[in-house]
């Protein structure tokens, strides 16, 4: 085991949804620790690629949609074709909830959330694990939410999807533990990202959501990235099927 336990030199990491926010911060963090990074998503990741280059790292971008099986297969295949293996996957792609009472949620709202937040995760796990089985192991980290553990009104499909992330994480973690594949998840509290900027730009809303956690503040993407790197590292070698709240005590209330 390396003496530097967060050294990912020689490792290859696939990250979905790495254009901004938590995905971007995690991609840059892995690259700074020596990993080759593949960023997959629907829109370009030019800013992330530039930050990685500025940090002296190496990364490529693959365009596609996590809800389409052929695209997810291409993410994995391109990773292996370019770098020869897949050591770590961070399944980060997701959509924000539609906020409405359950009776006012539409079938379209439901399908949109489920296709990305749950079906997309299923497809990523399916093809990532298949590749890791060939090479004898790997580490997968899924991005859930505090909504993987608790519920809030006005976002029932989102809560259901994020509870599903927890379920997939536990089931896959147990199923593949003896194959040297670890599967865990983070459950972030509200984090300051491009996706959440619409909520946080409203001063009253921002002050309200701060009260949800004990630290009374919004998390930074980098605070999520640190936990992802930990779970991907040898430090977490006996951890699988776990959901890690990164929420300043929100779910501990």
- List the domain boundaries for the chain: 12-248
Rg (CA), the chain: 17
- The neighbour count for residue 46, using CB atoms within 10 Å, is 10
SS3 (DSSP) at 18: coil
Domain boundaries 12-248, CATH class: alpha beta
Tokens representing residue 59 in the block? 């990364």
Q: Which band of pLDDT confidence, cut at 50, 70 and 90, is reported for residue 3? A: low
User: Counting beta carbons within 10 angstroms of the beta carbon of residue 252, is it exposed (0 to 12), middle (13 to 18) or buried (19 or more)?
Assistant: exposed
CA quadruple 82, 85, 87, 91: dihedral positive or negative?
Answer: positive
Note the pLDDT tens digit of each residue in 43-75.
899 999 999 999 999 999 999 999 999 999 999
Among the listed residues 83, 127, 158, 244, the single catalytic one is 158
pLDDT tens-digit map of 124-142 = 999 999 999 999 999 999 9
User: Phi then psi for 180, rounded to 5 degrees?
Assistant: 70, 30
Query: Would you call 244 a catalytic residue per the annotation?
Result: no
DSSP letter, residue 104: G
Q: In this predicted structure, what is the pLDDT of residue 160? A: 97
Give the model's pLDDT for residue 252.
Answer: 94
d(CA 26, CA 37) in angstroms, rounded, equals 10
Summarised one tens digit per residue, pLDDT across range 147-206 is 999 998 999 999 999 999 999 999 999 999 999 999 999 999 989 787 777 777 888 888
């Amino acid at each position: 085991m390396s003496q530097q336990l967060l050294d990912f030199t020689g490792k290859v990491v696939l990250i979905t949804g790495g254009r901004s926010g938590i995905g971007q911060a995690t991609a840059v963090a892995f690259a700074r620790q020596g990993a080759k990074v593949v960023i997959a998503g629907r829109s370009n990741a030019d800013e992330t690629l530039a930050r990685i280059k500025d940090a002296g790292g190496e990364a490529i971008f693959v365009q596609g949609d996590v809800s389409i099986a052929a695209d997810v297969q291409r993410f994995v295949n391109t990773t292996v074709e370019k770098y020869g293996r897949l050591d770590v996957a961070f399944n980060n792609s997701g959509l924000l909830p539609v906020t409405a009472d359950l009776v006012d949620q539409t079938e379209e709202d439901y399908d949109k959330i489920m296709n990305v937040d749950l079906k997309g995760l299923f497809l990523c796990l399916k093809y990532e694990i298949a590749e890791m089985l060939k090479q004898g192991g790997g580490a997968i980290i899924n991005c859930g939410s505090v909504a993987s553990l608790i519920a809030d009104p006005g976002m029932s499909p989102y809560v259901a999807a994020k509870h599903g992330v927890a379920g997939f994480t536990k089931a896959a973690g147990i199923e593949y533990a003896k194959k040297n594949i670890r599967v865990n998840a983070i459950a972030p509290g509200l984090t300051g990202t491009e996706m959440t900027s619409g909520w946080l730009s409203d001063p009253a809303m921002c002050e309200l959501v701060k009260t949800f956690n004990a630290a009374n503040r919004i998390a930074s993407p980098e605070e999520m990235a640190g936990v992802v790197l930990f779970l991907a590292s040898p430090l977490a070698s006996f951890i699988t099927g776990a959901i890690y709240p990164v929420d300043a005590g929100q779910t501990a209330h």
